A and B are shown apart, each in its own frame.
Chain A
Amino acid sequence: MNISYNWLRELTGVGLKPRALAERLTMLGLAVDGVHERGDDFLLEIDLTSNRPDCLSHLGVAREVAVEHGGALRMPAAVPSKMEGRAGDFTAVEIEDEDLCPRYAGRVVRGVQIGPSPEWLVKRLEVIGQRAINNVADITNYVMHEMGQPLHAFDLQKLSEHRIVVRRARSGERLRTLDGVDRELQTQMLVIADASRAVALAGIMGGEETEISNETRDVLIESAYFDPSSVRRTARALGLHTEASYRFERGTDYEGVLRAQERAVALICELAGGAATEDAIDVYPRKIEPQRVSLRPSRVEALTGLRVETSEMRRILSALGFIERAQPQTFEPEPSLRDGVLEMMPAGLHTTLSFTSPTWRVDIEREEDLVEEVARHAGYDGIAALLPPTASAGEYQPREIKKRALRRQLTAFGYDEAINFSFIESTSGERLDPIPKFATLIDADAEEDERAFVTLTNPIIEGMTRMRPTLLQGLLQSVRRNFNHGTRNVRLFETGIVFAARKGEGELPFEREALALVATGGAVEEGRAGDARELDFYDLKGAVEAAVDAMGLPALSFAPVSARHLRVGQAAVIMTGGQTEIGTIGRLSEEISAEFKFRQPVYVAELDLAALLEQKETPALYTPLSRFPSVVRDLSLLTNRRTSLSEMLAAIRELELENLSSAQLVDVYEGANLPEGKRSVTLRLEYRAEDRTLRDEEADEMHTRVVQKLAEKFGAEQRV
């Protein structure tokens, strides 16, 4: 809302300097965003909240400024200099759809001379950024900015039968509006019509055919109150937003209709000549009752902590236009029990003030609204700053501590935390297998409409209609973006919600917190001492394992798997408790790499973080340190390349050797000097008895069984 400083000062007589005034308005809730010098005037830009359409005018803002001085305003004169005839002699007004138009007033000025406006008027409009057109149009615009009531001037002679009908548009009806656009109307739209056709879009814009022109002699000035939601719907449907619709859809003063009309008619007589009718045709079939609202003065302090005298509350509200309805009613206070102590309210506070709300205040509904009115004008600055009395202890989200450990561990491993939008392109992410929880819902082989994607109807970025079923789509795009900027070493992780629809009608979609990682490029930071090495599967796996470890959760297990988005032979399913699948890890498949134009290996992992965090923490329990030495035997085996380490270790566990205290990998070797399809695996086996020193022969006996077992089960040959 643009306000002219000089104009405001005329209305209020308040002599504050522009910046001081801006400060005052801001602290009253009318935030002034800018003060700009405009010739001998200043423009104040006010960022109004949507509940205060009454301040979409100089008068409205002036009311706020004037409260401090009792609310007195210098209202401009509004008596036409020349009056003759009754409005009914020249026109007629009929409201067919009073649900959308509760009030419509028409008044006529005859014999006007259309021409340019005087300089003062042009200048005043210019200060607030309005362009002058002609005297009559400028006056309607001026009065709207002065009093907040949008007005419209018709060329009376162009109205068929010189009369007005307010009704819904007829089916197929068209109207060429003032902006030159020929519009097809819909039947729920309210129009102003004459005897034969629509001549204006009610509350939004007039029609070209009945517009004021230089030849116009008689004008009909419309001042009305339209149903706010009707104006909003029509303006939105047509994509036509005007100063008038802006005010009507927020709510105008239904009792200010005649006052504004009279002011405009008086100005027309003064500036364009002509004679006004003595009255207006005011069709107002059902009087709108103003809001009644009451205030218990004690509520002001109870809600704001401000101590304001009841007399001061009355003064503020009265200056704002609230009318006190009767003498305050005293009520018997109900004693209240607080902390076991009977509390009586102080005398004089157990009263209720009741008010009739000013008709321009569409935002006032209840007591709390009055509390705010009082507090605004008493000044928020006077509210003390106190901490609430101590109550309970604070608490993080149950999983936050673990997630912090996760983030710290992954960053220690060189992963940057990423955050992507929750929506992705409508066709993307389909070939990335989702977390197991969603696997049956978003089955890539199912038909499009069978798949449970969550889809947006109104994306803001073209095509971004799908709520992400996987975090990987966003991360892979982030990798692409980094490659485009010449960064080839990228390690990212993200935690966030992934989505899948539920099949049932009206059911809320699944929301599941996931963790995803992506890694590509060198394993060692470039430009440092040390040898370069490319990242591989085990780097990513190590990061996942370390993160789980840092969260104090049981170790994950991994098994070969085939996943749509992972390269055959370098893909694993991730499991908790040795069997519950919670995600996948591996090297991105050739197809998807090609899709993203990746020319270097990219490793990805995605886990159901919620499922991961549901697990019980591994308790830290002390195990006594053995007092007896162990016997360590290394075992080098030539095995089939497809025999996995975990299969071999499982086979060893099957032997249930009581004194085998650990079996672990030392080294895997694959080289040209080994037979095709074979690899060499070296294991370290540690034998130990809890209660004595193990003899070599005992260890040898167990070791032999291990060798035999591996030979029987996998054909593994011991290498010497």
Chain B
Amino acid sequence: MPEGASLGDPKLKAESARKAFEQEFERFARFRAGVSAESGLTLNSAEALERELSELRTRHTGKKSELASVKKLIGRVAPEERASFGQLVQQIEAEITRGVEEAEAALLAFINDARRERERIDVTLPGRRPRRGHIHPVTLVRERIEDIFVSLGYIVEDDREIETDFYNFTALNIPENHPARDPLDTFYTTTGLALRSQTSTVQIHAMQRRGVPVRMIAPGRVFRRDTPDATHNPMFFQVEGLCVDRGITMAHLKGTITEFVHRMFGPETRTRFRPSYFPFTEPSAEVDYSCFKCGGRGCRICKGSGWIELGGSGMVHPNVLSAVGVDAEEFTGFAFGLGIDRMCGLMYSLDDIRLLFENDVRFLEQFN
């Protein structure tokens, strides 16, 4: 004990309060520099320690603490000692606060880390969402065709799937004995009606409805008695096009198809028109476009020729125009018929077009 033991009583008390704190704080002191991985603490034990630590602080610095009662003894200290006594008390209080705060900060850091670890998620799990469905590839191609022709000023038309002889054949200049009328090729109902074998039927309906001039396309289902195999279906989709006006020539047919092909398959695609035969057009032309896979050098898709058949076309036959009361001297027009499934099959490299109508989800899922 230093000198002035008479005054030493409050000082001793202060020292004893410091000692009491140091004793209790001893087990926390090791955390002051930070909680190490080897500390063996868990989130729960750290939280408990943190609670105890805050209680410890209250006990040693709170209103009812020993230190608080020591402060009140200042009146008993000799005036000349008061300054140093005051300093001592402040110093003890600062020590306690610093020790507790350092340990507390370290514990909290540990606790926060541990909590975040506990709430860590696997960010690589697939996101939660409803399954997305898919539009049928035939529809995707059809929509694209419609978009292109609508932007070129065409009206989209459709009509019946079961047709009379007149619309399916006669008006299209398909003569009585033409093989297309044969029940080997065309489906008939028990009442003698035909399942339309080409969407050209819509040409007739459209000209009857709208008169001429007219520009229209008609995408739709058609039926032909083909046994299903990798390249045939008894039902498929076709788009018919018709443009009738004054002064329309094959040059307009060529320009229109070329424009369509550029937009559909890319501007580098070339087209080829070669003479062909269809009852409803004269002159007629088969349209080929340069293979999009090989660019025309020849590959499996184009069977080595560099060209892929797009469909039939030609100048509307005068008999077709007169079937709907249009003067073939005043008006000329072109028409074309393109296979949608066929385009679809080629664009997506389908090896078996029967898949188009089997609705296997594993197949449908592949299209966007």
* Residues on the B chain within 8 Å of A492, using CB: 359, 361
B51 CB-CB contact with A under 8 Å:
no
Residues of chain A contacted by B183 (CB below 8 angstroms): 457-458
Contacting B at CB under 8 A, from A402-433, are 404, 407-408, 410-423
Q: Mark A345-374, 1 if CB is under 8 A from B, else 0.
A: 000000000000000000100101101100
Q: Is the CB of A395 within 8 A of B277?
A: no
Contact between B129 and A467, CB atoms less than 8 A apart = no
Q: List B residues 225-264 near A (Cβ within 8 Å).
A: 225-228, 234-235, 243, 245-252, 254-256, 258-259
CA distance A492 to B150 in the complex (A): 29
Q: What separation, in Å, do the CA atoms of A391 and B212 have in the docked complex?
A: 12
Contacts of B146 on A, CB cut-off 8 Å? Answer: 396, 400
- A395 with B156: CB separation less than 8 A: yes
Instruction: Sort chain A's interface into a size bin.
Output: 35 or more
Indicate if the CB atoms of A392 and B153 lie closer than 8 Å.
yes
CA gap between A505 and B190 in the complex, in Å: 11
Q: Is the CB of B235 within 8 A of A421?
A: yes
B150 contact set on A, CB distance < 8 A? 394-396
Asked if residues A394 and B189 are in contact (CB atoms below 8 Å), the reply is no
| Bound complex: CA A31 to CA B272 (Å) | 13
Q: Which B residues between 185 and 203 are near A, CB-CB below 8 angstroms?
A: 187-193, 195
Q: Which of B127, B154, B162 contacts A509 (CB 8 A)?
A: B162
Residue A530 lies at the interface, judged by CB distance under 8 Å to chain B = yes
Question: Of B55-63, B88-96, B131-139, which binds chain A?
Answer: B131-139
Binds A, one of B10-18, B27-35, B282-290: B282-290
Report the minimum CB–CB distance from A2 to chain B (whole Å): 18
Q: Contacts A368-B317, A375-B275, A482-B360 given: A461-B228 contact, CB under 8 Å?
A: yes
Among A383, A506, A528, chain B packs the most CB atoms within 10 A around the CB of: A383
Instruction: Name which residue of chain B comes closest to A421, CB basis.
Output: B235
Residues on A with C-beta less than 8 A from B365 are 416
How far is the CB of B322 from the nearest CB of chain A, in Å?
12
A511 within 8 Å of B (CB atoms): yes
Q: Are B249 and A467 in contact (CB under 8 A)?
A: no
Is A422's CB under 8 angstroms from B161's CB? yes
Asked whether, in the complex, the Cβ of B152 is within 8 Å of the Cβ of A394, the reply is: yes
Within 8 Å by CB of B274, from A27, A416, A454, lies A27
B128, B133, B149, B245: residue with the most chain A Cβ atoms closer than 10 Å: B133
The interface residues of chain B lying within 8 Å CB-to-CB of A501 are: 191
**Interface presence of A621 (CB below 8 A):** no
- Check A366/B152 contact, CB under 8 A, given A372-B283, A385-B258, A524-B130: no
Q: Of the candidates B134, B193, B223, B254, which one forms a contact with A385 in the assembled complex, judged by CB atoms under 8 Å apart? A: B254
Does B125 count as interface, using CB distance less than 8 angstroms? yes
Q: A16 at the A/B interface (Cβ < 8 Å)?
A: no
A50 at the interface (CB under 8 A from B): yes
Give the residue name and chain of the B residue nearest to A404 (CB). B143
- A304 and B283: CB pair below 8 A? yes
* A671–B177 alpha-carbon span in the complex (Å): 73
Indicate which residue in A388, A505, A511 contacts B248 across the interface (CB closer than 8 Å).
A388
Q: Nearest 6 A-B pairs (CB), nearest first?
A: A29-B275, A305-B251, A372-B283, A394-B150, A49-B277, A411-B133
Q: Given A416-B364, A418-B136, output 20 extra A-B contacts at Cβ < 8 Å.
A: A28-B274, A305-B249, A375-B283, A388-B255, A388-B256, A416-B365, A417-B139, A419-B357, A422-B223, A454-B189, A459-B187, A460-B226, A478-B358, A481-B358, A489-B131, A491-B131, A492-B359, A493-B133, A497-B161, A499-B161
10 A-B pairs (CB sep. < 8 Å): A50-B179, A303-B249, A363-B277, A388-B256, A394-B154, A412-B133, A414-B131, A419-B359, A524-B131, A529-B126
